[in-house]
A and B are shown apart, each in its own frame.
Chain A
């Protein structure tokens, strides 16, 4: 059914901290590794070693330069499905392949029903859906449904692969429908924002804007390094004479 549920029991989603993301792409490769064997498998690669590399990825990390009056900064920006509350990607689907789960709000594609009309990818403003030209169906982030409820892996691993992989803890996972959850608290504390709120998709995932700049780095320069080893020869002699 492509009609949207009036409400969902949980609103599982991600919170991404743009202050700490260093753009290392660990979440990207970890996502690909898990999901090419997961619920939406395979994440086909076309011509992977050739000049026209193409393929399906659920998570893409961009880099931007944000320039304000306070100065410029580089912001690494991971982009994936936001598991929106009112996503047109679901309602436009003619086959019922796209759906939003009532239990946890995750947006999924049933690959056995998808006819590959691509309309859902047109309806997603965020570019979260990628078409698999090899299989002929649409693919997208599953929020790792096959990890987060998986009794066969250790409880601490029952988070999306991207969250588990992030070395700077820039990615957080939890129930954004529960105002008391750690992740909701984080959003409240850091002033998390919706992407393209003007389009009315009401994304579940939130982004934490970079913290305000501090001038610490510029005002506390590290002392210049001294050579550890005493140099020999002519340069050593000059050094000794001048240091004396």
Chain B
């Protein structure tokens, strides 16, 4: 599948934004962390900014963005429509939570309730995004049992590493947040490795035989219907060379998992390093987000659509 930059940015940014929102909603709403006004303002602002920027960028790849409002109508059947509804609905509890937690400086009571609702709405929205991909049967790498948990895990992982960085930067480094970022990073790494392993050993159930109805033997494409690349090949026929894919997997793992885990573990082990813990926490978050962009690029580039069979690819 063609890796469109707007969609790569969208899924990475909203994943991190919703993850962060969920942590702030629960930890902030229930008073598990105090945090001053600036921490509250900047962290919730960043969560909502990531979500909004992601949603806006997702409209950038539409052919007719001015009609985007129509996408809220078919939630009965369409995961994309459900995502639209859920993402907008999330702003309601998140907005109320922002008023209570940031502007009024409260926690507990109704602020806790709206915080919890924000976290639930964020999780639901991430699920709807994942289901858009998980429900596409023509793409075996996406319609697998790894997709939905993967999106949730990565949202929690990037959200928690951001949460930890913001705490370190604007409040003070906190052990539980750091621990959570480390654990979710390890889970994420394991899940991604398992996903890649699963994809690499996929046995195609759909073949050019079943695609053409020609039973038995081998079917080989000898002539395309057209000489130049058409929409199908440009959109669905994208293929990343295997050796590049392997290199990019290494880069993605280094940036998204290995480096942040190393930095966070260092900050965690040496509690008396003061300012260095802040630097490491922030660097871990930046590295992980960059790595997730590479991971998301691969998510698209390595996905093979059944239409490519017709072209012998």
Question: A residues engaging B (CB < 8 A)?
Answer: 1-4, 18, 23, 25, 28, 51-57, 60-69, 74-75, 77, 79, 88, 90-97, 113-119, 121-127, 130-133, 135-138, 193-200, 207, 209-210
Contact = CB atoms under 8 A, between A and B. Distances in A.
Interface string B282-313: 00000000000000000000000111001100
Given A74-B222, A123-B136, A209-B214, A2 B77 contact: yes
A73 to B, nearest CB: 9
B84 interface: yes
Given A67-B220, A118-B235, A94 B70 contact: yes
A156 B231 CA distance: 34
A197 B231 contact: no
A2 to B, nearest CB: 5
Contacts of B79: 92
23 contacts: A57-B226, A60-B225, A62-B223, A63-B223, A66-B214, A66-B218, A67-B219, A67-B220, A74-B222, A75-B214, A88-B137, A92-B80, A94-B72, A95-B73, A96-B70, A96-B73, A113-B67, A114-B64, A115-B71, A118-B61, A123-B136, A126-B307, A127-B307
Contacts of B227: 53
Contacts of B306: 125-126, 196, 199
A53 B231 contact: no
Given A55-B230, A94-B72, A122-B1, 14 more contacts: A60-B226, A64-B222, A65-B219, A66-B219, A91-B77, A116-B64, A118-B63, A123-B136, A126-B307, A193-B215, A198-B205, A198-B206, A198-B210, A209-B215
Contacts of B208: 64
Interface in B55-73: 61-65, 67-68, 70-73
Contacts of B211: 125-126, 195-196
Contact of B63 (A4, A28, A53, A137): A137
A125 B219 contact: no
B219 A95 contact: no
Contact of A125 (B135, B206, B218): B206
Contacts of A117: 61-63, 71, 80
Nearest to A90: B77
